[in-house]
Amino acid sequence: MSIISIKNVSKNYGQKKVLDSVSLEIEKGEIFGLLGSNGAGKSTITKIILGLEKPTSGNIVYYEGRQINIKEKLTLVPQDIAAYKNFSVEKNLEFFASISGLSGDLKKNKINFLLNWLNLNEFRKTKTSFLSGGYQRLLNIAISLISDPEIIFLDEPTVGLDPLMRKMFWDKIKELRNQGKTIILTTHYMDEAQNLCTKIALLKKGKLLTIGKPIDLIREYGGIKVTVLKLTSMILDDDLPKIRAAINNRNVIVRDKYLFVPVEQEHGFEKIVALTQWLISRGYSIDYSTTKEPDLEDVFLQLTGEKMKTDN
């Protein structure tokens, strides 16, 4: 079921066009990634979906045109901390629960559930300003979920987090999807998008470049597997044509001490072994080797000509 249908949406600020005829469908239960570098239009399209901005042209249809109060279905988990720093964790949740119209046992049970589910229970009496950045982000999520929304926007949810907290966030985002929520995620981290998203829309300068499942985009645009060999010494310029001839591969690339060798489907392993033997016979020593599979970073680079972050 399509719950958000964006049809030919454009947005101008004066003479500047920040969205240019963007069309996409977001299905119920997806983790939908909006990807692009700064100025791609991610924030603008998010604001339009949330009703904070109006499109210059085009339209958005929610829940296939059913008559509903869309604002009750949506929530935004911002990158900045939305909690009151002088309130305790529990006091923040009580305050925002009251604003959402919760009271009595329903309010108490909802707060207790969120505190336990997000690993915040031991901090319930702790002043928010004393929490680490990661736990403040978890409190942000708790506050945003207090009204039990169906559609959750996550804006750069793991920026600046350590690897353990980042992994916890990934797990919680997947659990939200398992609870039937629809997640719309903006992120600069390609590994995050590849790990979490069921579908991705890639934007550049207000235009939609492509949309699809990560695995399908990688197959179409990610290129081929590459073996990287790092040597202990610089590779001589005169040896590059000899290296290519040794394994009958004209696409080998040299960068200082590194060799980048596209792995061919047929006899790929044998050719890497032959190259290794040739290098050793010429007096080169290999520091290490690794094989890089195509990934979402390669897709981004191929389609935009830009690089994005791959981890924190």
* Average pLDDT rounded to a whole number, residues 234-254: 85
Q: Among the residues of the chain, which ranges form H helices?
A: 42-50, 89-99, 104-117, 133-145, 163-178, 190-196, 214-221, 239-247, 268-281, 296-304
Closest CA to 6 of 43, 57, 80, 75: 57
- Answer whether residue 209 shows pLDDT above 50: yes
Q: What is the pLDDT of residue 307?
A: 63
Instruction: Provide the residue type at 5 as one letter.
Output: S
Contact 29, 152 (CB under 8 A): no
**Residues of CATH 3.30.70 domain(s) within the chain?**
224-293
Distance CA 165, CA 142 (A): 16
User: pTM score, two decimals?
Assistant: 0.83
CATH of domain 2-220: 3.40.50.300
* Average pLDDT rounded to a whole number, residues 158-172: 89
pLDDT interval class at 94 (50, 70, 90): very high
Q: pLDDT averaged over the chain?
A: 90
- Eight-state DSSP code of residue 249: -
**Residues of CATH 3.40.50.300 domain(s) within the chain?**
2-220
Residue-wise DSSP of 187-210: -SBHHHHHHH-SEEEEEETTEEEE
Whether CATH 2.20.25 fits 224-293? no
